[in-house]
Amino acid sequence: MDESAKRNRGSLQLRHVDAGSCNGCELEIASIFSPVYDAERFGIRLEASPRHGDGLLVTGPVTRNMVDPLRKAHQAVPEPGVVVALGDCARDCGVFRGAYGVEGAVGDVLPVDLEIPGCPPDPAAIVRALRGLAGT
Amino acid sequence: MAGLLIASALLGLAASVAGAVASPRSRTPLTVGGTVAACAVAFAVAAHVLATGEVVRFHTDRLLPLAGFTLQLDRFGALFVAVSAGVGVCALIYRLGYEGHGLVSRTASSTLPLFVTTLLLVPAAADVTTFLFLWESMALTSLLLVLADHRYRPEVRVAGQWYAVMTQAGAAAILVGLVLLATRSGSQSFAAIGEAAPHLSPWVRSTAFVVIVLGFASKAGAVPLHVWLPRAHAEASGPVSALMSAAMVNMGIYGILRVGDGMLHGGPTWWWLGVMALGALSALFGALHSATSRDLKRLLAYSTTDNMGLVLLGVGASGLFASTGHRSLALLALVASLLHVVFHAVFKGCLFLAAGSIQQATGTRDLDALGGLLRRMPMTGAIFLIGGLGMAALPVLCGFVSEWLLLQSMLHGLPTADPAIAVAMPIGVGVLALTGGLAAFTFVKAAGIGLLGLPRTEPAAVAREVAPSMSVGGGILALLCVVFGVAPLLVIPAVTGAARSLTRTVAPDPLARGWQLGLSGVHDVLAPGILGAALVLVVVAIALVRRRLQPGPVRIVEAWGCGRELQTAAMEYTATSFGEPLTRVFEDVLTPSHDVDVSHVAESRYYVEAATFHTSLDDAFERRFYDPANQMLRRWGAVARKVPNGSIHRYLAFGMVALIIVLVVVA
Question: pLDDT tens across B624-658, in order?
Answer: 899 999 999 999 999 988 888 888 898 999 999 99
The one-letter amino acid at B249: V
Instruction: Provide, as residue numbers in chain B, all residues whose Cβ is less than 8 Å from the Cβ of A70.
Output: 563
| CA separation for the pair A130, A107 (Å, rounded) | 18
Interface test mutation site (partner B, options A62, A66, A72, max chain B beta carbons within 10 A):
A72
Question: Are A56 and A84 in contact, with CB atoms under 8 Å apart?
Answer: yes
Instruction: Provide, as residue numbers in chain A, all residues whose Cβ is less than 8 Å from the Cβ of B564.
Output: 69
The one-letter amino acid at A122: D
Q: Give pLDDT, residue B175.
A: 95
Nearest by CB to A79, which of B555, B558, B565? B555
H or E stretch covering B614: strand B608-616
Instruction: Provide, as residue numbers in chain A, all residues whose Cβ is less than 8 Å from the Cβ of B561.
Output: 72
264-323 in chain B: CB under 8 A from chain A: none
Q: Give pLDDT, residue B66.
A: 78
Give the range of the structural domain holding residue A71, as residue numbers without chain letter: 2-134
Partners of A114 in beta bridges: A84
Question: pLDDT tens across B216-272, in order?
Answer: 999 999 988 999 999 999 999 989 999 999 999 999 999 999 999 989 988 899 999
A127 pLDDT more than 90: yes
Residue B551 distance to chain A (closest CA, Å): 11
Residue B25 distance to chain A (closest CA, Å): 56
Q: Give pLDDT, residue B289.
A: 92
Q: Within this chain, do residues B608 and B628 fall inside the same structural domain, yes or no?
A: no
Give the range of the structural domain holding residue B662, as residue numbers without chain letter: 623-666
Within chain B, which residues score under 70 in pLDDT? 506-508, 510-525
Peptide bond just before A50 cis, omega within 30 deg: no
Which 3-state string (H, E, C) describes B18-43?
A: HHHHCCHHHHHHHHHHHHHHHHHHHH
Alpha-carbon Rg for chain B in angstroms = 27
Question: pLDDT tens across B495-545, in order?
Answer: 988 998 888 776 667 665 555 566 655 556 677 778 888 888 999 999 999
Q: Calculate helix-pair angle for B24-52, B492-503, nearest 10 degrees.
A: 70
Q: Do B563 and A70 touch (CB under 8 A)?
A: yes
Nearest by CB to A75, which of B558, B562, B564? B558
Q: Give pLDDT, residue B661.
A: 96
Partners of B277 in beta bridges: none
Q: Is residue B588 part of a domain?
A: yes
| CA separation for the pair B52, B67 (Å, rounded) | 30
CA B427 to chain centre: 23
The one-letter amino acid at B299: L
The mean predicted confidence, pLDDT, of chain B is 89
Q: Is residue B208 part of a domain?
A: no
Q: Give pLDDT, residue B502.
A: 87
Q: Do B563 and A79 touch (CB under 8 A)?
A: no
Q: List Cβ neighbours of B65 (8 Å cut-off, separation of 6 or more).
A: none
Partners of B511 in beta bridges: B519
Q: Which residues of A touch B (CB under 8 A)?
A: 17, 49-51, 68-70, 72-73, 75-76, 79
Q: Is residue B465 part of a domain?
A: no
| CA separation for the pair B188, B435 (Å, rounded) | 40
Q: Give pLDDT, residue B257.
A: 95
Buried b (16+ CB within 10 A) or exposed e, B331-356: bbbbbbbbbbbbbbbbbbbbbbbbbb
Measured at the CA of B165, the angle between CA B163 and CA B166, to 5 degrees, comes to 65
Longest CA–CA separation in chain B, Å: 105
Q: Do A69 and B555 touch (CB under 8 A)?
A: no
- Tell me the mean pLDDT in the region A90-102: 92
What secondary structure does DSSP assign to B351-380, as a single string? Answer: HHHHHHHHHHHHS--BGGG---HHHHSHHH
| CA separation for the pair B566, B486 (Å, rounded) | 46
Number of folded domains in chain B? 2
Q: Do A69 and B557 touch (CB under 8 A)?
A: no
Question: pLDDT tens across B567-609, in order?
Answer: 788 888 888 899 889 998 988 888 888 888 988 888 888 888 8
Q: Does B565 touch chain A (CB under 8 A)?
A: yes
Instruction: Provide, as residue numbers in chain A, all residues whose Cβ is less than 8 Å from the Cβ of B562.
Output: 69
Residue of B nearest to A49 (CA): B562
Q: Where are the alpha helices (DSSP H) in B603-666?
A: 620-621, 627-642, 648-666
Q: Give pLDDT, residue A96.
A: 92
529-558 in chain B: CB under 8 A from chain A: 555, 557-558
Instruction: Provide, as residue numbers in chain B, all residues whose Cβ is less than 8 Å from the Cβ of A51.
Output: 560
- Tell me the mean pLDDT in the region A92-118: 93
- Tell me the mean pLDDT in the region A109-132: 94
Number of folded domains in chain A? 1
Q: What is the CATH number of the domain that holds A61?
A: 3.40.50.12280
Instruction: Provide, as residue numbers in chain B, all residues whose Cβ is less than 8 Å from the Cβ of A69.
Output: 562-565
| CA separation for the pair B348, B311 (Å, rounded) | 14
H or E stretch covering A45: strand A44-47
pTM of the shown model: 0.88
Q: Do A49 and B557 touch (CB under 8 A)?
A: no
Question: pLDDT tens across A13-59, in order?
Answer: 999 999 999 999 999 999 999 999 999 999 999 999 999 999 999 99
